[in-house]
Structure 1
Amino acid sequence: MTVLILLFLPLVAALAVLLFKNETAKHAALLFSVIELGLAVFFITKFVPNASTQFAVDYPWIPKLGIYFTAGIDGISMVMVLLNTLLVPIIILASYNHNHKNANAFYALILFMQSAMLVVFTALDGFLFYVSWEAALLPIYFICALWGGENRIKITIKFFIYTFAGSLFMLLGIIYLHLQTPARTYDIQDFYGLTLSLKQQSWVFWAFFLAFAIKMPVFPFHTWQPDTYTEAPTAGTMLLSGIMLKMGVYGAIRWMIPVVPLGFDHWQYVVITLAVIGIVYASLIAFNQKDGKRLIAYSSIAHVGLIAAGVFAWTMSGVQGAMIQMLNHGINVVGMFFIMDIISRRLKTRDLNEMGGIAKVAPQFAIAFLIIVLGTVALPLTNGFIGEFLLLNSMYEYNIWLAASAGLTIILGAVYMLRMYKKVMQGETNALTLLFTDITGTEKLVLGIICVLIVFLGVFPNIVMHLSDASVKELVQSVNDKILRAGKY
């Protein structure tokens, strides 16, 4: 079985969902997303966890220009495929309590976006990677612009300009690399085999870094994120935070660092420092947030900053920690935004100062909320622990002072997340929270799935880590060997 079925089933599903209306469209989208998850599980069962690329396809697209539809799955891609296919049905199910106008278009855009992101995570041709990167931007733009909050147009345009501008720099880098290949191709292996000077690699490094840093986002390219997360509909926020920002981390691992290892080595300290600044900055800003959704948005910047720092440290533990943490962060942040969605739908506010005592009237909700908070703050035996441990270990191997600064994300994160839980759930009920009803139906199902995943992946992280272990080891070693050889001459 080829990867084409996995990539284009959501696209076909998106077209089919457009034929349905309202409730039927919602159920059809969920059904197709569950089928896609089942298909991904099938690929995982057939996947051999070594460093090879499997289920590959290679078809001429525009052969005169050296462009081919080349895609495949190795261990790194497999974790990202799992992230994508696992979260999309959860996100669709989490939106069941919203009555979206033109629901068929809303769910079709989600499925279209899923297809584009899957191509991003499996593309082995630079041009295909860029096209799918941009294709993933279009549906989230319309989701935010059509179903977002009051300031959605202004905020969405800012988001689009930021991400599109960054992508243009990446396109210039891809075209430049294409022109340097002897056969004038966009094939990733040809890019890996290029021998460029430090100056050339530095220019290409920054062209790619701008695109990936904006998408993650890394300080100081983060300013679009809190506003966009706040104004986007809940499903849009989940797609952005749970999956789409991981495109930037993945791009750095797959396309930036291995292609220009000397440029990366030269600027490594600078980009790690930017990531660490982002961790501390976002954590401190989160302390002062009264809006629950904005607090979670800044928390996400801090956590992804740690993932980025671990990747840029470029050790086995750092990259492997980033792989497992991308999955775990996606689960946790989707859970947190769903928690805030439940609260804002019931109370008609996200102001934390207006809440309190909800645990007394909604005990099941309180338990689920606490489990997700504990996963987010990386309590041992929850899913967030192993990833953050590996990431901090990699930072310690690189620089103890930067590691100490990056470690603040755990301390500060625990303080502001537990403080938020205390404000919302504990204390006495008030006139607003007294009538808060406990979770039912799809809410209970979504939170149940997320809580089970948090505990299960916390106890058995190797179920995911073994998928990427061989691919990460080979890639890290390959880059380090290139840097080492260059240092000898």
Structure 2
Amino acid sequence: MLTLSLILLPIIAGLITLAVKGETAKTVAVVSAFAELALGAYLYSSFVPDATSQFSVSYDWIHSAGIKFSVGVDGISLILVFLTTLMVPFIILSTFGNNYKNASTLFALILFMQAALVGVFTAKDAFLFYFFFEAALIPVYFIAAIWGGENRIKVTFKFFVYTIFGSLFMLLALVYLYLLTPGTHTADISALYQAARVLDVETQSYLFGAFFIAFAIKMPLFPFHTWQPDTYEEAPTAGTMLLSGIMLKMGVYGLIRFVLPIVPLGVDKWGFVAIILSVTGIVYGSIIAIQQKDMKRLIAYSSFAHVGLMSAGIFSRNIDGIQGALIQMLAHGINVVGLFFIVEIIQQRTQSRELSRLGGITQSTPNLTVYFIILMLGSVALPLTNGFVGEFLLLKGVYEYNVWIGAVAGLTIILGAVYMLRMVQKSMFGVTSGITEGFADLTFNEKIVLFPLSFLVIALGVAPNIFLKVTEPAVSQLLSIIK
């Protein structure tokens, strides 16, 4: 019931939030989010680090079709459930400095999206996974469309069309695999693993393409990324945090949960192409990030580059690459949520995100400067920060796959440092401009968000085995399936 509670709690809290107004809605949202975090922490502490699926619940959903409401947690899904429960309270807290119209609706949509995200990461039935995969799109669409920038309708429509288009390919692949299962058919994911074993290389290649397109758009990977920068820029900061901090991990998770174990022959044939696209995205995204003048857009491209490295590590199909992708998803979620919040703080104070208009902020903001630099160093993978652990394992995994591809992927270390240090230098240091004079340091509410995130940057870098030992058995079992 613990897994089911993690899905139901934000739904119930979201409905209550819709029914109340003002400060009460805010209180209900943040209290329920921290209650969800407490449940997530209890789930993590109670998890036995082996390869089994735990805290499982299964009910008949569409009995005649063999489709069940079946959820459970293994080491791979646990890390992402924990990320989701960890980030949402801070995303909600980060909105407290803004006066949103219909704020109760915004908070409710965030909670509904949290429920869908937990559902994605815990689903053991393929059609239940698809249901939650699509359900997570609806709240963030309305968040961006209602509270976004001037071009929000055009941008969010493009985002919606892209993701729905990709998901249709996945649905076709799932239906095909479902019809291959024996007897009255079942949508159990483990049964799909077995059903796909009889397929030849050509058929698995088609299925690989269907799954890959769906997940590559969601992440996104090069060249399926064109919706991302505009959507991240136009969405309100809370929506951008949800998209970059958690939602893009659905695509990375899908590669691990579906692509590798279901179509290993397809990965054998097309995995090299996928890695080339992933590494291209690393270099391309980094170069574009270096040229950005808008802080929010710069972080959007940096996120695009980081996802490319995660994808390359997964398709390397070794334990270092997949372990690196899992720990990097957690680290990236922490870092990017913190960085987007700092950009929001700067924009609120100065009404600008343009690097050319900023400067000298550090002269009056010792607290903001410290937190900004810690989160930036985590993003560029400085040793003893959270980003270093995942990036080291990912590069090691890609290097083991192919030395030359690993060398190109390693450019992320140099290019990442260039664009992140450039952003900090131009916004925080130098001479103050007309809009940064008298820039106020962090408020108490802002410190409540940034201090825990900054602490996690260091804690995860110092003690990564807290998470790596939990994911390793499930990853090892996955590798035994695909090899």
Residues in 1 aligned to 2:20 and 2:267: alpha-carbon distance in whole angstroms: 49
Residues in 2 aligned to 1:200 and 1:70: alpha-carbon distance in whole angstroms: 28
Measured against aligned partners, the alpha-carbon deviations of 1:11-38 in whole angstroms (never above 9, x if no partner) come to 1111111111122111210000000010
**AA matched with 1:165:** F
Q: Does 1:452 align with 2:468?
A: no
User: Is the Cα contact below 8 Å between 2:2 and 2:43 reproduced in 1?
Assistant: no
1:487 matched to which residue of 2? Answer: none
Q: Determine helix, strand or coil for the equivalent of 2:204.
A: helix
User: Is the Cα contact below 8 Å between 2:76 and 2:326 reproduced in 1?
Assistant: yes
2:373 matched to which residue of 1? Answer: 370
Q: How big is the shift at 1:2?
A: 4.0
**Sequence identity, in percent?**
58
Q: How big is the shift at 1:338?
A: 0.5
The number of aligned residues is 480
1:141 matched to which residue of 2? Answer: 141
Q: How big is the shift at 1:147?
A: 0.5
Q: Determine helix, strand or coil for the equivalent of 1:69.
A: strand
What TM-score, normalized by structure 1, do the two folds share?
Answer: 0.97
Residues in 1 aligned to 2:367 and 2:2: alpha-carbon distance in whole angstroms: 43
Q: Does 1:193 align with 2:199?
A: no
Structure 1 gaps of 5+ residues are 481-489
Q: Determine helix, strand or coil for the equivalent of 1:61.
A: strand
2:392 matched to which residue of 1? Answer: 389
**AA matched with 2:98:** H
User: Is the Cα contact below 8 Å between 2:296 and 2:353 reproduced in 1?
Assistant: yes
2:80 matched to which residue of 1? Answer: 80
Q: Determine helix, strand or coil for the equivalent of 2:323.
A: helix
**AA matched with 2:437:** L
Q: Does 1:58 align with 2:58?
A: yes
1:399 matched to which residue of 2? Answer: 402
Structure 1 residue runs of 4 or more that deviate by more than 3 Å after TM superposition: none
1:106 matched to which residue of 2? Answer: 106
1:486 matched to which residue of 2? Answer: none
1:334 matched to which residue of 2? Answer: 337
**AA matched with 1:342:** I
1:483 matched to which residue of 2? Answer: none
Q: Does 1:241 align with 2:244?
A: yes
Residues in 2 aligned to 1:198 and 1:192: alpha-carbon distance in whole angstroms: 15
**AA matched with 2:151:** N
Measured against aligned partners, the alpha-carbon deviations of 1:53-74 in whole angstroms (never above 9, x if no partner) come to 0111111111111211111000
Q: Determine helix, strand or coil for the equivalent of 1:257.
A: helix
Measured against aligned partners, the alpha-carbon deviations of 1:272-318 in whole angstroms (never above 9, x if no partner) come to 00000000001011111000100000000001110111011111000
Q: Does 1:410 align with 2:413?
A: yes
1:311 matched to which residue of 2? Answer: 314
1:350 matched to which residue of 2? Answer: 353
Q: Determine helix, strand or coil for the equivalent of 1:58.
A: strand
Measured against aligned partners, the alpha-carbon deviations of 1:395-445 in whole angstroms (never above 9, x if no partner) come to 100011111111111110101110111111111112211121000111111
Residues in 2 aligned to 1:293 and 1:232: alpha-carbon distance in whole angstroms: 10
Residues in 1 aligned to 2:450 and 2:381: alpha-carbon distance in whole angstroms: 18
Q: Does 1:277 align with 2:286?
A: no
Alignment of 1:255-294 (within 5 A): 255-294=258-297
Residues in 2 aligned to 1:85 and 1:351: alpha-carbon distance in whole angstroms: 32
Q: Does 1:430 align with 2:464?
A: no
Residues in 2 aligned to 1:432 and 1:187: alpha-carbon distance in whole angstroms: 57
Residues in 2 aligned to 1:58 and 1:364: alpha-carbon distance in whole angstroms: 48
Structure 2 gaps of 5+ residues are none
Measured against aligned partners, the alpha-carbon deviations of 1:318-375 in whole angstroms (never above 9, x if no partner) come to 0001110000000000011011000011100110011111110111111111111100
Q: Which sits farther off after the overlay, 289-298 or 58-67?
A: 58-67
Alignment of 1:1-16 (within 5 A): 1-16=1-16
1:479 aligned residue (443, 468, 482): 482
Alignment of 1:215-230 (within 5 A): 215-230=218-233
1:154 matched to which residue of 2? Answer: 154
Q: Determine helix, strand or coil for the equivalent of 1:193.
A: helix
Residues in 1 aligned to 2:2 and 2:114: alpha-carbon distance in whole angstroms: 18
Residues in 2 aligned to 1:293 and 1:436: alpha-carbon distance in whole angstroms: 19
Residues in 1 aligned to 2:451 and 2:44: alpha-carbon distance in whole angstroms: 24
